[in-house]
Amino acid sequence: MEYKASKVNGKKYIMQENGEIIGLYLTGRRKTYGLNDTVEIKSIAIPESEETANGSDDSLGTVNPDGTITLGKALDSTTQLQGSIIQILGDDDSADLIVRTKGNKLYSFKTEEVHLAGVSNATFNARRSLFKSEQEWIDDLSDVCRKFDDLNRNKHWSESYPVDEIIEIYGILQRLKEKDYGQWEDSAIKARFNAVWAELRTAYSNILINDRDDDSKDVNPDDSESWRLRIGQLSYMS
């Protein structure tokens, strides 16, 4: 389970390994909306033209026998309802959530149109899992930083970095870079990662330059394939 960025700035989705979206996180407001959370639906007025055209106050949606959802238009201007979130809509321009009321009616809403009134066990457990993963991510970053610091302390200023160790550290950092458990919201953690990442990139560049210079002086034609693979690996990382 991890966060996945939305195409809309300020929004992230909580996504399970199977790709199911189970939550929506608003980075600016630092608020999470998850499946089965209780929300209070704010008043929304139906345009008079729509009321006249429909001639009905049945503005709510319902669950059809075949399992599909027919959404209603909006709430009456004087209505206040509670419901639970049954679906998080991924990158939908018209709505963020589908809410089922206690009367089994359905609405689609933007987050600003509802007030979060209660957090479900599922959302609590998801946030707890993300927090645990975030702490493990931070521990992994600390281990990498210590390992890189040890390399810097033990290396003479005129020496190149050991290739194998740098490749190993790069692989770990690359995996950490691709994960989002909420740690990127912490500016100090982000700055720490960026600092060691920048140093590592510089080390790669130096290794790549030195390795090419050394190998170009004495290339064994019988082992040219392994030489190309090694250079290719370093080039991919640079």
CB 6 within 8 A of CB 13: yes
Give the pLDDT confidence score for residue 23 in this predicted structure: 96
Q: Which of 20-29, 66-75, 190-199 has the lowest mean pLDDT?
A: 66-75
Mean pLDDT along residues 70-80: 48
For the record, the structure tokens of 45 come out as: 């007025």
Give the pLDDT confidence score for residue 53 in this predicted structure: 42
pLDDT band at 175 (very low <50, low <70, confident <90, very high): very high
State how far the Cα of 99 lies from the Cα of 86, in Å rounded to an integer: 6
For the record, the structure tokens of 31 come out as: 């608020």
pLDDT, one tens digit per residue, over 92-121 is 778 899 999 888 888 889 999 999 999 999
Give the pLDDT confidence score for residue 131 in this predicted structure: 96
- What is the rounded average pLDDT for all residues in the chain? 78
Bridge partner residues of 99 (DSSP)? 85, 107
Q: Which of 5-14, 63-72, 157-166, 226-235 has the lowest mean pLDDT?
A: 226-235
High-pLDDT (> 70) share of the chain, %: 68
Bridge partner residues of 31 (DSSP)? 26
The end-to-end CA distance of the chain, in Å, is 30
State how far the Cα of 167 lies from the Cα of 118, in Å rounded to an integer: 47
Reduced to 3 states, what is the DSSP secondary structure of residue 103?
coil
pLDDT, one tens digit per residue, over 10-35 is 899 999 999 999 999 999 889 999 99
Phi then psi for residue 86, to 5 deg, are -110, -10
Give the pLDDT confidence score for residue 66 in this predicted structure: 52
pLDDT band at 210 (very low <50, low <70, confident <90, very high): low
Q: pTM for the complete prediction?
A: 0.69
